[in-house]
Structure 1
């Protein structure tokens, strides 16, 4: 899913959820031709009572996605995610209202959601996180985009991320990330993007392979990647035009901040590399480390060679 459209200016429009996709380390250009002719997604506005009205088709999409993921995540998501999902007590037949999510987040970590358009400015994204507000675009994917959507929709935001916003370490990491992003330069943001990508979006947790679980929201909101990320056999899902089939098993690497900041990625395919933290509280250790000093070190060393194939044009 695309997070950042461009990073050429502070006022650039970005995907509602985060700043982490189309930066120097992430490239979505191969996907643009497939979506140029599609109707753009538009977030819903709330009424005078703060209620957002969704159509029957939109609620049916929510139910279909949630039902399918409920079959995948019990033995693959980390325990803290499952605990957060229980706390949220999401409805199965309709899209939840954000104020219901806020009640749980406020009571656990002091966070809340913020309804935003499909695209927001780069600066607004960081400001929201720095103020413990998680941006949520209030639209849901159409059925033709059920398996893959470029923009982060409400299913990705609520099901992928909000359960873990009830966990103190995950919440603190997001807040710190927002504060760092606000003061970072354009080039520093390119490198910070990889930190968010390989943790909040596509992170794994568990030092022992048999105990390894998913905490990244980009994985947990994707039925196919939820299976693939922990799979140690060849991947059987057919290749699609917009999401190429991986050519090998996923590679799990122990989390190293400098390595993460130097690892390029593509947003238009299943990920070939996942970084693994020992436990969720490791996010506290990352927050307490010299992140920006390590960013400067990564900038001086440059990126690793990509492990993914070049895109065909």
Structure 2
């Protein structure tokens, strides 16, 4: 993985590095560069008045410019000065991974760039949204702190099986919408499938609710006075369509509070309402209120039940500090939590580091253990000293019988007692049997081998993923380059070459003959020619070639007649070019 000489990236854990791809800057075409330039010029023209953070200073702090698509080396050279970094990924990555990157102060930037037909907004991640939206405001310390803190909380959030289905459906639909070869039938089928999943989600999970807070703040947040707010959300900062429409009075502006979790969102449509926070500290207060309801802070049976519903790798932490990571299943139907059980590969850890000899190879078929106090004990087993251990017959090499207050019995020969920081976290037995005294359940039999019993009075925390992800996860090789599947496979080669000629005209100086040659190739038979004509108008206007500028403007007006949906884009392009030339001549 390329780290761009940025220590923030060098410190990324291995399991996150597998999502990173090479940017391959040479794959961006002249049309891509023109698209970036148009969006950024429009953004600055509008956002300089409505964005919370001064847009140009923010761009410079993040190593961005209006003129060209950002290079990851330039971004990291700038971002590392404020303790952040940036990496490129190939489109969507799982929400948990996205959150964890954020917790490590790393911006995740999709390497692809949207198609021309989606210049105002794209539901799929792209370099315009991720870099021009998220990066400029990172220079605001209070916001950067909130973003990192959100990542830390989000990394712990439990998902549900339905969440994964929804994620895949949204991901697939977004890619279809951005791909030029998608048919109407394919699109309709994907939209229908997404709607079916959305209509049958059931009770929203922690991650689903947390993603709403993320959406209404990090992506679509407003800040300041309720009646005259400023934009700070990346989705708005990077959308030349919605950044303007969202400020209209018919889009309700609501005070930001924990009630925002009641508002679901649709990534493919403009937002029906937005939330306004008075300051970034308020965002952290609201996030803390929600975090107090999450399983990683609550623990107990309800939190373990959430982990079971998750159907993915989670971690439960005993009061002793022992962490058990795996896919959890129902172990008992009691009102109180008396036993935990995983299925498949499981690992044991302490303070986020895997215990030696207790990885997924050793516990390949699952792990189970009681939770609670020994019957009649006046202190927790995890706190037993050497004398108390002897009193209860817990001596290495000797057989002992442990009766838990929950009605579970463990009987076997003690093989090993494991301590961490003066806490007993694990006791291993041979010739061991574990069962309920009522005879309803046998959890372990002597012929199954060594029984490793976790020690702890209660489950104090439950969170998503493994405690030691680098040790737990299978680190498959991830492709080291971006697919660029959205745009470059379908771009019109002639159109790309025309934009290359236009860029050459701008970079090497104005040439009337070259201008006319390109102009004559940009006819109204192709709707996509509008952007090239806007650029030609801009070049002519900036060079006081009024007759040529008039030619381009007249042709653009014909485009508006033929393609009414282009009216706003063309009008805005002409307006910004004239405004910029006026400012330069003052």
TM normalised by structure 1 equals: 0.68
- Matched-pair contact (CA < 8 Å) for 2:223–2:232: yes
Q: Which residue of 2 aligns with 1:154?
A: 127
Q: Which residue of 2 aligns with 1:195?
A: 213
Q: CA deviation at 1:122?
A: 3.2
- Matched-pair contact (CA < 8 Å) for 1:169–1:283: no
Q: Unpaired runs of 5+ in structure 1?
A: 1-15, 17-42, 233-248, 297-313
Deviation sequence 1:194-234 (CA, Å, 0-9, x none): 00000011110112523x111111111111211122222xx
Q: Which residue of 1 aligns with 2:272?
A: 272
- Matched-pair contact (CA < 8 Å) for 2:255–2:275: yes
- Matched-pair contact (CA < 8 Å) for 1:126–1:181: yes
- Matched-pair contact (CA < 8 Å) for 1:261–1:295: no
Q: CA RMSD in A?
A: 2.4
Taking a change above 3 Å as real, the CA distance of residues 79 and 124 of structure 1, as seen in their structure-2 partners, is closer
- How far apart, in 1, do the equivalents of 2:139 and 2:133 lie? 13
- How far apart, in 2, do the equivalents of 1:115 and 1:180 lie? 23
Q: Unpaired runs of 5+ in structure 2?
A: 1-18, 160-204, 296-586
- Matched-pair contact (CA < 8 Å) for 2:255–2:277: yes
The SS at the match of 2:49 is coil
Q: Which residue of 2 aligns with 1:282?
A: 282
- How far apart, in 2, do the equivalents of 1:44 and 1:181 lie? 23
Deviation sequence 1:226-249 (CA, Å, 0-9, x none): 1122222xxxxxxxxxxxxxxxx1
Which among 66, 84, 96 is matched to residue 58 of structure 2? Answer: 84
Deviation sequence 1:143-183 (CA, Å, 0-9, x none): 11112212120011111110111222222222222222222
Taking a change above 3 Å as real, the CA distance of residues 81 and 143 of structure 1, as seen in their structure-2 partners, is same
Taking a change above 3 Å as real, the CA distance of residues 96 and 256 of structure 1, as seen in their structure-2 partners, is same
Bigger shift: 272-281 or 195-204?
Answer: 272-281
- How far apart, in 2, do the equivalents of 1:121 and 1:188 lie? 15
- How far apart, in 2, do the equivalents of 1:290 and 1:269 lie? 29
Superposed, 1:23-102 pairs within 5 Å as 45-46=22-23, 53-79=27-53, 81=55, 83-88=57-62, 90-102=64-76
- How far apart, in 2, do the equivalents of 1:92 and 1:80 lie? 14
- How far apart, in 2, do the equivalents of 1:124 and 1:216 lie? 20
- How far apart, in 2, do the equivalents of 1:91 and 1:44 lie? 22
- Matched-pair contact (CA < 8 Å) for 1:44–1:139: no
- How far apart, in 2, do the equivalents of 1:281 and 1:66 lie? 29
Question: Is residue 74 of structure 2 the alignment partner of residue 104 of structure 1?
Answer: no
- How far apart, in 1, do the equivalents of 2:289 and 2:75 lie? 33
The runs of 4+ residues in structure 1 deviating greater than 6 Å are: none
TM normalised by structure 2 equals: 0.37
Superposed, 1:248-267 pairs within 5 Å as 249-257=250-258, 259-267=259-267
Superposed, 1:129-140 pairs within 5 Å as 129-140=102-113
The count of residues paired between Structure 1 and Structure 2 equals: 233
- How far apart, in 2, do the equivalents of 1:203 and 1:46 lie? 29
Q: Which residue of 2 aligns with 1:218?
A: 235
Q: CA deviation at 1:136?
A: 0.5
- Which structure has the larger Rg over C-alpha atoms? 2
